[in-house]
Structure formats: C-alpha cells, structure tokens
Structure 1
C-alpha cells in the first residue's frame, strides 16, 4: 500500500538483525521502494526446508525493489558478527542512520518447561541482541542527521494475565521495549530517536504458521506488509516521534490509512500477545 507523502528514506542506511523473511524483509522492501540502503545480519546462509528464503535471496528481492542491500552472514548473539555488520554498513554506504531490531526467538512455554539453555537463547537473541546491535551502531547514529532505532517489541503490559502467561518470553520481549524506551531518553541529546512497533494482530509469518496452529493460524493473521507500511510511516514521520510504543494499525490510521482489507484484515484475525484486552486463552493453542 502506498504511504502518504512524508520524509524520505532516500540514501538512508538501515542495519537490521534478521530480515531474511517475514516482517523484517517486508520492512526492508518497503524501505527500498523509498530509496533506503540495507545491511542484513542473519544466519540463513543456506536454504532451510522449513523456512522460505535466505539472507542472499532477501538481498536479491531488495535490489529488485530498487534498493541497495548487503548480506552479512552472522549471529546477533555474537559481538564480532554484530560489529562486522555495522562496519559493513559504514564501508559500503558511509554510515548508519537506522537500526531495526527485528531478530527474535519465540517460546510460549511456562517457566518449568523452558530449559536454562532455551532461556539463555531467548534472552540472548531478543534483549541482548537488541542491546548489542544498537550499542555497536551508536557512534554512527550520533553522526547521522536523522538517527533512529526501531525495535519490534510490545507495549509494557503489566496485566497479571500477561506477566504469568509465559514469563521467560515476556521478559525477553519487554527487555527489548525497555531498552528502546530508555535509549529515547539516554540519547535524546545526541539526536537519536527510538521507538517500538508491535502488531495488533498476529502476522502471517513462518513462526505463526509453525508455532501457532499451522495454515489455519496463518489465515487468521494479517500480512507482514501492514508492519512494513507502519514501520516506514514511523521512520518517515515529519513529527519525529521518540520514546513511543506503536501499534501497526494505529500508526496507519494516524497517517490516513483506514482500509486494512489489503492486509488480510477481517473479524477473524487473532489479536497478538501483550495487547490490552486480549485473553491468552483466546489465542491459538500452544
């Protein structure tokens, strides 16, 4: 869907964790159509029979959409890989303007069912990966004339039903949000804006299909393009927001987009985790 005329992304350089597929790739494609450059840090060097696409096919799609992109095969948990992604952005495109913290691990198990190894993995990818990538890019963000951090993480909902539903995953996602909201204040004087973006409904990604109920769950989800268009709207908003946790459909409504039918909107959409008014019992079985 075409976005309203706003600030441009032409020549802006995005460094994203993950992005081989799903929401991350959709954001980079939408940004590419607005002239953005992209550096993608992801592990998917070779095809996986369970998942579509690799970091290399993502680059090809971005270039086909009119953007410029570079793949960095690496792990957001590994400091050297993160540093290499940022260095690649500087060497290839001259700097970093936008960090998108997209990589995330999902585990909807209760505390007793999450092994320490699985717990560490989730925290390392989600909150620690967000910290590592943003920290590595800080000096370059400070040098940008419109630096932004956008983290795909939820509003901090302290309703007991969410605090108690799957605490290990909750902690990892809220950690991403708290870091980002903290950076909005910590680096306000450096001109770095930081915001979170989260979908109101589930999104039709491989994770939803594989973990939340197969093809039926995918049919009850909106498409990744709603998050992509919302992300571009935030990144190009002339009001220059910071320190906010946005929901995708609210962002689009604020920019005049109220017809969500192209995104697969219907009365049967499943509302996503951590959204006020959502009952975990109403979500797909996990």
Structure 2
C-alpha cells in the first residue's frame, strides 16, 4: 500500500477502499466530515449519519450538503438523519444502509456530546444525555453493524474515545478532558469499551475494534463554539482521518488498541515529529498535547477547563484555568 489522495500525510499507508461502505456518525462537520471525505477519496461509499438537516449559524453543514460533496468525489453517499439518543433512528440508519448497499464494512462512532463539569455540577438530565449519545448510542450502532460485517468477514469499528484509566490519580491529573469530569469520562470510556468488546468478540473473524483519541485539541465547530483556545493550540481534523485510513487499511491483526493519534502515526506509519507539522493549524506553532495522558509530554499540572451548555459559556470560561496555563 502507498500514500494516496485521501491522506494528508504522504507517509500514511493506505489502499483502495472501492466498493466498501462506511457509516460515520456525526459526519456533517469537523472530525466526522474529515473522515468521510478521506474515506470517499479512497473510493469508499459513505453513510452520512447525523442530526443536522438544515444549516444553522453555529453549525454549518447538513447531511445533504455533505452527501453531495462526497458524491462529487465519485462515490455513493447516503444521508440519514440520526439522533443518537433514538434507537429507532439508529435501526433505520442500518436498515437503509443494508437496503442501499447490501453491506457495512466500516463504522466510525464519532458523534458525541460534550459536558466537562464535576459531579456536583452535573444534573442527572445532563448525565442521561451524554450517556445516551456517547455510550449507549455508539453501543447500539456497533451492536447492529457487527452482524452485517460478520457476513462478509470484514469489519472495522473505530470509536473516537480515550484510553481507559483505572488509577483515580490519573483521572485527577489529566489536563482538560479528565480532571474531575466524571460523567463525561463514564460516557466516553463506555465508547472505548464497545470498541474493545468488538475486538474481543470478533477476533479471528476479519473484524477489528479500536479506539482513537487526539493528543491535542482538534479544529472543529466545537473547539470554536466552546472557545477551546486559539488556532495555534489546535491540529487539523485530518490527523484523525489519516489515522482512520491507516486503521481501516491495516491488517486484521491490528485490533484491540486504545490509540492516541500522533503516537499511532509515529509508531505504525513512521511519521517523525517533523512530519506531524503538516497537521498544525498554525504552521510554525506546535500545539500542546493537552488531551494526552499524564506521563505524555502534553499533560502538565493542575489546570482545568469547564464546559457545559454553550449558552453558559461566559460562566464556564470564568471558572476555567487550563487554557491560560498551557
């Protein structure tokens, strides 16, 4: 396999995905859309599974506009309105996919709800919301896709979620996502468990399961809407889509991993630190590895960022300290 137009870095080893079918949740913008475009450039048909059907000022892109953009790349695209809280929507998405394509080869569980608050500041309705979307929604979609993948003896499940942590001190010392954000951690670790479960239960059947997480804040509508620093603190979403291409095109034996994006690219595709510069949003500034675990070179100190309802952003920003310390 060799580098191709779907990957931003020419070093990422990818191959043709002609005839394959991917479902990507939350694919109308940001990371999900970057993955959709990258897979489409490799010849993969894509199901655009997301909630947005009409453009909004703070949420550009719809399932229809993205599907049209993908079809201009020469593949087939299926826009499906999916609220990840709705089992009916998820079931209908899988049904339409099988009806149209007759197969499912790739599942990227990307859709996610953000809630970065402490236990005492987390109402139960918010806990229910993020758990329904993150843990339950990704589990339900995985649950329905795996039997379809098994029929063709090929499948790739990739969940955008962090490595599991069992040491409570690690949870208190990670920057940004982890410090004290217990409800969010539960919901995201549940996604990781689904990926690992797919790996364990389908080992040797051509199906892999891996989780994938960024080391840095990624440029997206969420990073803009929640004011997660400036562009010099972000990497492009293509660092994750390059990882997805590498995993999808990788061997069946590459399974059961909890991956950090830049570490995966360095270890599996031989990218150097200099090669990673292609993913910077600001070309001459290396962003802090703020989402990497304690012990990695980005996690420093006791800083936190609080983010909940975007309508209460001003209040959250006043109570945050991490962005000024990174």
Match in the other structure for 1:178:
193
Q: Between Structure 1 and Structure 2, how many residues are aligned?
A: 284
Deviation at 1:263, TM superposition (A): 1.1
Counterpart for residue 166 of structure 1: 181
Q: TM-score, normalised on structure 2?
A: 0.81
Following superposition, the deviation at residue 8 of structure 1 comes to 2.8
- 1:255 and 2:269 correspond: yes
Contact 1:194–1:244 (Cα < 8 Å) also in 2: yes
Per the alignment, residue 271 of structure 1 pairs with 289
- Which runs of no fewer than 5 residues in structure 2 stay unpaired? 1-7, 306-316, 321-326
Number of the residue aligned with 1:96: 104
Deviations 1:39-81 (A, max 9, x none): 1221100111112211111112212233321100121221111
After TM superposition, give the deviation of residue 6 of structure 1 in Å.
Answer: 3.8
Aligned to 1:71: 79
Q: Does 1:139 align with 2:147?
A: yes
Q: 1:230 aligns with which of 236, 243, 253?
A: 243
Q: CA deviation at 1:246?
A: 1.3
Matches within 5 A, 1:7-156: 7-156=15-164
Tell me the CA shift for residue 244 of structure 1.
0.4
Task: Name the counterpart of 1:193.
Answer: 208
CA distance, structure 2, for counterparts of residue 191 and residue 238 of structure 1? 9
TM-score, length-scaled by structure 1: 0.92
- Could you list the per-position Cα deviations for residues 76-129 of structure 1 after superposition, in whole angstroms to 9, with x for gaps in the alignment? 221111111111111111110111111001111111111111110000000001
Matched position secondary structure for 2:218: coil
SS of alignment partner, residue 216 of structure 2? coil
After TM superposition, the structure 1 stretch with the greater mean CA deviation from structure 2, 6-15 or 50-59, is 6-15
- Helix, strand or coil at the partner of 2:164: coil
Q: Aligned equivalents of 2:128 and 2:292: distance in 1?
A: 22
Q: Distance in 2 between matches of 1:5 and 1:160?
A: 34
8 A Cα contact 1:39 1:88, kept in partner: no
Distance apart, 1:266 and its partner CA: 5.8
Question: CA 1:272/1:61 → structure 2, altered by over 3 Å: closer, same or farther?
Answer: farther
TM-superposed CA distance for 1:283, in Å, is 5.7
CA contact (8 A) 1:40 1:85 kept: no
In 1, Cα distance between equivalents of 2:103 and 2:201: 21
| Equivalent position SS for 2:47 | strand
Alpha-carbon deviation of 1:279? Answer: 3.8
- In the alignment, the residues of structure 1 paired with residue 122 and residue 153 of structure 2 have an alpha-carbon distance, to the nearest angstrom, of 43
Larger radius of gyration: 2
Distance 2:164 2:285 in 1: 25
